[in-house]
A and B are shown apart, each in its own frame.
Chain A
Amino acid sequence: DTGVSQDPRHKITKRGQNVTFRCDPISEHNRLYWYRQTLGQGPEFLTYFQNEAQLEKSRLLSDRFSAERPKGSFSTLEIQRTEQGDSAMYLCASSSQGAGEAFFGQGTRLTVV
């Protein structure tokens, strides 16, 4: 599969634990986005990378959230001290330079119990 892949697909964690998700974008795409989607809502922007540089972080991204893209390829999203309100689908998308379409991964569904 040469599309955007995310791992894991599902994660159940206890409140207070840390979790880390991984996204592998389409190889030639230099832009990578993280979104959060809750039931019945559209994807909400979290953060954006162009190559390895994190160019924007949403106000939704509290200090407990951190994202990296160290070599400009895969990216990780870490949530520290998870809360029940963090339960959502975390989507990664990638796109190439210019106003091209973004391709989404299948997402990581996080459940905090």
Chain B
Amino acid sequence: GENVEQHPSTLSVQEGDSAVIKCTYSDSASNYFPWYKQELGKRPQLIIDIRSNVGEKKDQRIAVTLNKTAKHFSLHITETQPEDSAVYFCAASGPAGGYQKVTFGTGTKLQVIP
């Protein structure tokens, strides 16, 4: 089955700096890569996603890149703000027995220091 690895597990940045979180996946059939933000005690919420036919996607201060050949994808947050502090999960989704199965990474705890 799919295996998703995520690095780093914790990340501290100064407010205004950029943050980068990297993930690798194992199943070349995976075709959809969402990123979720989870604040303490709250549900994971989708912040950006990318499909396998696209190499990069941007939404304001957040961007995601995908390298299908190397099977890795990354989340980039620019001009970080204290409210960006949360746990971020990458995920890979691909066909498995006729449906889309989502496998999550282990998470990155981002701390933005004011």
| Of B56-64, B69-77, B90-98, the one touching chain A | B90-98
Number of interface residues of A (CB under 8 A): 25
Chain B stretch 72-114: residues in CB contact (< 8 A) with chain A: 89, 91, 93, 96-107
Which residues of chain B have C-beta atoms less than 8 A from A95's C-beta?
100
Q: Is the CB of A102 within 8 A of B34?
A: yes
Give a binary string over B11-48; 1 marks a CB under 8 Å from any A CB, 0 the rest: 00000000000000000000110101000001111100
Residue B51 at the A interface, CB < 8 A?
yes
Majority-rule SS of B interface residues? strand
Residue A104 at the B interface, CB < 8 A?
yes
Majority-rule SS of A interface residues? strand
Q: Is the CB of B107 within 8 A of A42?
A: yes
Q: Is the CB of A42 within 8 A of B105?
A: yes
Which residues of chain A have C-beta atoms less than 8 A from B101's C-beta?
45, 48, 56
Residue A25 at the B interface, CB < 8 A?
no
Q: Among the listed B45, B98, B99, which residue makes an inter-chain contact with A104, where contact means beta carbons less than 8 Å apart? A: B45
Q: Among the listed A40, A56, A98, A101, which residue makes an inter-chain contact with B46, where contact means beta carbons less than 8 Å apart? A: A101
Interface size class of B (residues with CB under 8 A): 20 to 34
Known A56-B97, A91-B43; judge A44-B104 contact (CB<8 A). Answer: yes
Closest to A104 in B: B43
Closest to A109 in B: B41
Which residues of chain B have C-beta atoms less than 8 A from A48's C-beta?
99, 101
Closest to A41 in B: B106
Which residues of chain A have C-beta atoms less than 8 A from B91's C-beta?
42
Known A99-B32, A101-B34, A107-B43; judge A43-B99 contact (CB<8 A). Answer: no
Q: How far is the CB of B110 from chain A (nearest CB, A)?
A: 14
Q: How far is the CB of A3 from chain B (nearest CB, A)?
A: 9
Chain A stretch 27-79: residues in CB contact (< 8 A) with chain B: 31, 33, 35, 40-45, 48, 50, 55-56
- Nearest 9 interchain pairs by C-beta: A42-B104, A99-B32, A104-B43, A101-B46, A106-B43, A104-B44, A42-B89, A43-B104, A42-B107
Residues of A within 8 A of B (CB): 31, 33, 35, 40-45, 48, 50, 55-56, 91, 93, 95, 98-99, 101-107
